[in-house]
Chain A
Amino acid sequence: MDFEDTPEEAEFRAEVQAWLKANAPKNASANAFSADLNEAEALKIAKEWQAKKADARYAKITWPREIGGMGGTPIQNVIYSQEEAKYALPGGFFDIGLGMCIPTLLTHGTPEQAERYTKPALYGEEIWCQLFSEPAAGSDLAGIRTRAEKDGDEWVVNGQKIWTSGAHYSDYGILVTRSNPDVPKHKGLTFFFLDMKTPGVEVKPIKQISGGANFNEVYFTDVRIPDSQRLGAEGDGWKVSLTTLMNERAAIGGGGGALGSDELLKLFRGIEMHDGPAINNMAVRERLADWYVQGQGLKYTRFRSLTALSKGETPGPENSIGKAVSAPRGQDYTSFALELMELGGMITDPDLAPLKAGFQSGWLFAPAMRIAGGTDEILKNIIAERVLGLPGEIRVDKDTPFNELPTGH
């Protein structure tokens, strides 16, 4: 038992370090993707960087060399990410495209389509988004209502998508639609990809409770998509969606949020309570210990998964607990930190609140973490069903035609 790289891993890490040192922008860490850098600036830096990475085959380490990857292993991918993270480069613009959209296209598209779209995505020249969730279909994705009707060699799409990350700067999107409402819901879906500049596509940012706008609504009004951009057979959209989602789950979570136990300790040391510094109060100490131990538990669970990757094995089910723990934990400790600041906990002025008001912004964003990418409840269902083997929900909507299902909000 140790935390060391194998000789092969150490060699790869050294190569990566040398390459990053020679190629990463000189002032990289100053370019951290933060409020100081607007999105257009961040995107410009990110695109240049992505092209450099693609040339060196670091853009998709695990992809085969024939399509521009490195033919590397999952653990090499992790090592690269660990090293690149030290440079705090703006990122995240290409993850959906390269992680989910292009793999779906590679599986279900024609060789010509794969050829046409893979390289520009790899080089960051074209960005992709994923048009899945709808106002009436979140956790229950197969309940989507955006309608696709066939008209000759084309499909006409009407409806609305929501929570689409990056739609406003994306060039292409993958889209799941309802092509037949007369059959049960999983059977009436059809999957497409489309140019986001197609007439009738309208992207509107969603203003969040945190004030920011990380996601969009996307409206479709008589949007015409050629049948040649259908992925999978008509009615097979659910099966194609599962390919996309499977790729989403292949990732191993990162290192957790920006605020850790060290920041909490610092805060608790600096805050006065009625009986002295907060850190001397046993109730405060107990909570800090709990959050520290949860954080350590996540860290070493990740290490167990990395060990499996390092041995060339698939990580075990322990990998599934990450967000179910980290999201509620983040909400708990930011909330507690605000309580300790008493009325001052309300202050969001970065010059007046500790850590540039990081606990305040963390608390305001925390509800999103418990919902995005699978709610706490859905994640526990997944653990219960896939890890523990408990029965799935009894489905009342499985065999009923979609247009006969009861609807609410």
Chain B
Amino acid sequence: MNFDFSDDQKLLKDQANKFLQDKCDLTVVRRILDGDELYEADVWKGIVEMGWTGTAIPEEYGGIGLGHLELCMIAEELGRSLAPVPFSSSVYLATEALLIAASEDQKQKYLPALAAGEMIGTLALNEGTQAATPRTIKASYSGGKISGTKLPVPDGDIANFAVVAVKTGSGSDEGAISLAVVDLTGEGVTRTPVTTLDPTRNLSNITFDNAPAELVGAEGSGWSTIRQVLDRAAVLTAFEQVGGADAALNTAKEYALGRYAFGRPIASFQAIKHKLADMYIKNELARSNSYYGAWALSTNAPDLPAAAAGARIAATDAFNFAAKENIQTHGGMGFTWEFDCHLFYRRAKLLSVSLGSALSWKDKLVSELEKRNAA
């Protein structure tokens, strides 16, 4: 039994932790919250210099050819620090979509640039305040051009290009969906940042009006690719959530130890102790499910869809719970702009809704169990 990360992988995690503590503490996150910058460019530059953007990109495409286990380690630390950078959009979504479905020419064009940080990518999926499904995707592609609106697109105002989910068929089934890559700085693209619950990460409203585009993967195979990308991104995001949940628990713990009421630290009251124990329990369940997800992702196991769903469900629950109960532990001060609690509360919600709701992942997980235990 060797169900743990290797010493080298843990070393990478420690390095990531040190870098982010040094360059990206919560005062840096707050600058993005309070200012007009879309992301923290210096932190991003450092991330690129350390090669994190090319972690899972093979060396032949300019990456460092490590793998997804290493990427999980980085993800946990990015989650812990609430780093305001477009890492997840560019690395978990755009890069993975291209690795799965792109042609050789497309890989040569995009992957080295992504690894080197010369390009930032994203995946444009949602259209409005509802789930992205083959029925709700209306943006269309024909003759090398796309038209329609994608809202919200993660880091859409930062990215240079997007892999866009578009309709290429007439029906509303999965076969009607394709993916197309679009230069977001080119003609026919209008993009505007939208105001969001988590201003430390960008969301964009993008309109395509006959914007030049090129299909990624075969026509009609888009939904199958999206499913695979979401499984991979679910595992990586789960590690961000585990990191964030751990940080929220620590924040709550430190506050409870230092805050006195009724003549004693509030951390000595069972109501608070049990709350923090509940956070710890959820965090450990999330971590263990995420480790299994990491194993399934790194070995491309047939169980990846169920493993990813398990990691996603447990980690979403853990971070949402830790973030809200961290505020509760702080009492009124937790509701002030001045205290950092709301940064976790905001980010937990962003990550919770980023790749589809917990409810839809639960539905999907049970479908996987049904498949496995064919009646």
The 8 Å CB contact of B3, one of A269, A306, A389, A391, is: A306
Cβ-based interface call for B1 (8 A): yes
**Inter-chain contact B5/A321, CB cutoff 8 Å:** no
**Inter-chain contact B295/A1, CB cutoff 8 Å:** yes
| Minimum CB distance partner of A306 in chain B | B1
Cβ-based interface call for B370 (8 A): yes
With an 8 Å Cβ cutoff, the count of chain B residues facing the other chain is 49
**Inter-chain contact B4/A1, CB cutoff 8 Å:** yes
The 8 Å CB contact of A265, one of B1, B298, B370, is: B370
The 8 Å CB contact of B274, one of A6, A290, A318, A384, is: A384
Residues of chain A within 8 A of B69, CB atoms compared:
1
**Inter-chain contact B274/A269, CB cutoff 8 Å:** no
**Inter-chain contact B362/A296, CB cutoff 8 Å:** no
Known: A3-B1, A307-B1, A385-B273. A298 touches B362 (CB 8 A): no
A271 to chain B, nearest CB (A): 13
B312 to chain A, nearest CB (A): 9
**Which has the most chain B C-beta neighbours within 10 Å: A5, A9, A289, A325?**
A289
B76 to chain A, nearest CB (A): 15
B311 to chain A, nearest CB (A): 9
Stretch at the interface among A278-286, A343-351, A398-406: A278-286
Residues of chain A within 8 A of B4, CB atoms compared:
1, 304, 307-308
| Minimum CB distance partner of B6 in chain A | A1
In the bound complex, CA of A391 to CA of B310 (Å): 34
Known: A285-B362, A392-B268. A325 touches B1 (CB 8 A): no
In the bound complex, CA of A89 to CA of B295 (Å): 34
**Inter-chain contact B366/A390, CB cutoff 8 Å:** no
Stretch at the interface among B18-26, B77-85, B106-114, B282-290: B282-290
| Minimum CB distance partner of A379 in chain B | B277
Cβ-based interface call for A19 (8 A): no
The 8 Å CB contact of B314, one of A265, A293, A321, is: A293
Among residues 241 to 266 in chain B, which have CB atoms less than 8 Å away from a CB atom of chain A? 249, 253, 256-257, 264-265
Residues of chain A within 8 A of B314, CB atoms compared:
293-294, 296-297
In the bound complex, CA of A321 to CA of B280 (Å): 9
The 8 Å CB contact of B1, one of A282, A310, A381, A391, is: A310
Residues of chain B within 8 A of A95, CB atoms compared:
none
The 8 Å CB contact of A290, one of B5, B276, B313, is: B313
Cβ-based interface call for A33 (8 A): no
Known: A307-B2, A381-B273, A384-B277. A300 touches B288 (CB 8 A): yes
Cβ-based interface call for B219 (8 A): no
In the bound complex, CA of A296 to CA of B253 (Å): 27
**Which has the most chain B C-beta neighbours within 10 Å: A1, A261, A266, A279?**
A1
In the bound complex, CA of A286 to CA of B369 (Å): 13
Residues of chain A within 8 A of B257, CB atoms compared:
390-391
What number of A-B contacts does a CB cutoff of 8 Å give?
Answer: 161
Cβ-based interface call for B36 (8 A): no
With an 8 Å Cβ cutoff, the count of chain A residues facing the other chain is 54
Residues of chain A within 8 A of B170, CB atoms compared:
none
**Inter-chain contact B366/A393, CB cutoff 8 Å:** no
Residues of chain B within 8 A of A285, CB atoms compared:
362-363, 366
Cβ-based interface call for A215 (8 A): no
Among residues 91 to 113 in chain A, which have CB atoms less than 8 Å away from a CB atom of chain B? none
Known: A4-B2, A390-B268. A384 touches B276 (CB 8 A): yes
B357 to chain A, nearest CB (A): 11
A313 to chain B, nearest CB (A): 10
Cβ-based interface call for A262 (8 A): yes
Cβ-based interface call for A377 (8 A): yes
**Inter-chain contact A293/B285, CB cutoff 8 Å:** yes
**Inter-chain contact B288/A318, CB cutoff 8 Å:** yes
**Inter-chain contact B253/A388, CB cutoff 8 Å:** yes
| Minimum CB distance partner of B366 in chain A | A285
**Inter-chain contact A321/B270, CB cutoff 8 Å:** no
B214 to chain A, nearest CB (A): 37
Cβ-based interface call for B319 (8 A): no
Cβ-based interface call for B294 (8 A): yes
In the bound complex, CA of A261 to CA of B306 (Å): 13
B263 to chain A, nearest CB (A): 9
**Inter-chain contact B294/A377, CB cutoff 8 Å:** no
In the bound complex, CA of A131 to CA of B267 (Å): 34
A7 to chain B, nearest CB (A): 12
Cβ-based interface call for B340 (8 A): no
Cβ-based interface call for A342 (8 A): no
**Inter-chain contact A298/B285, CB cutoff 8 Å:** yes
Residues of chain A within 8 A of B253, CB atoms compared:
388-390
Cβ-based interface call for B129 (8 A): no
**Which has the most chain A C-beta neighbours within 10 Å: B5, B281, B287?**
B281
Known: A297-B284, A301-B288, A380-B273. A394 touches B1 (CB 8 A): no
**Inter-chain contact A388/B280, CB cutoff 8 Å:** yes
Cβ-based interface call for A336 (8 A): no
Residues of chain A within 8 A of B365, CB atoms compared:
289, 292-293
**Inter-chain contact A321/B281, CB cutoff 8 Å:** yes
B125 to chain A, nearest CB (A): 22
Cβ-based interface call for A246 (8 A): no
**Inter-chain contact A304/B291, CB cutoff 8 Å:** yes
Known: A279-B366, A292-B310, A390-B268. A303 touches B288 (CB 8 A): yes
**Inter-chain contact B295/A393, CB cutoff 8 Å:** no
A303 to chain B, nearest CB (A): 4
In the bound complex, CA of A296 to CA of B313 (Å): 11
**Inter-chain contact B256/A390, CB cutoff 8 Å:** yes
In the bound complex, CA of A384 to CA of B266 (Å): 13
Cβ-based interface call for A167 (8 A): no
Cβ-based interface call for A206 (8 A): no
Cβ-based interface call for A2 (8 A): yes
Residues of chain B within 8 A of A30, CB atoms compared:
none
**Inter-chain contact A293/B310, CB cutoff 8 Å:** yes
In the bound complex, CA of A177 to CA of B233 (Å): 59
Residues of chain B within 8 A of A290, CB atoms compared:
313, 362
Cβ-based interface call for B44 (8 A): no
A4 to chain B, nearest CB (A): 7
Sample of 16 further A-B pairs with CB below 8 A, known A286-B359, A388-B280 = A75-B1, A265-B373, A290-B313, A297-B284, A297-B289, A297-B310, A300-B288, A300-B292, A303-B288, A306-B1, A306-B3, A321-B284, A325-B285, A385-B273, A388-B253, A388-B277
Binding site for B on A (CB under 8 A): 1-6, 9, 75, 261-262, 265-266, 269, 279, 282, 285-286, 288-290, 292-294, 296-301, 303-304, 306-308, 310, 318, 321, 324-325, 377, 379-381, 383-385, 387-394
Q: List 21 A-B contacts (CB under 8 A).
A: A1-B69, A1-B295, A2-B3, A3-B1, A3-B2, A265-B366, A279-B370, A289-B365, A290-B362, A292-B310, A293-B313, A301-B285, A306-B1, A310-B1, A321-B281, A377-B270, A380-B278, A381-B270, A384-B277, A388-B277, A391-B264
